[in-house]
Amino acid sequence: MRDDLRAALKHLEWRFRTEKLGYFRLATNAANQASVLASTRKKVGTDPMEQLPRKNSAKGDGH
């Protein structure tokens, strides 16, 4: 019984560490993307996301 509890605790610790790393990676990626967008916006003067052609995926592209 004690071994089962110890194994479950180790598994929970491992999962917590890996999920924490995953969230840290997501936050880092989001921060990097935000800084790239901000620097691009300063250079161009507009939002680069607005320059992308809009496509309504629900209706297709009309062909």
Amino acid type, 26 = L
Return the higher-pLDDT residue of 8 and 58. Answer: 8
Taking a C-beta distance cutoff of 8 angstroms, is the pair 47, 41 a contact?
yes
Q: Using one digit for the tens of pLDDT, what is the confidence trace for 30-50? A: 888 888 887 776 665 555 566
Contact criterion met (CB below 8 Å) for 48 and 34: no
Q: Characterise 59 by phi-psi region: left (phi > 0), alpha (psi -120 to 50), beta (else).
A: alpha
Tell me the CB-side half-sphere exposure of residue 29, using CA atoms within 13 A. 6
Measure the CA–CA gap between 34 and 27, rounded to whole angstroms.
10
The reported pTM is 0.36
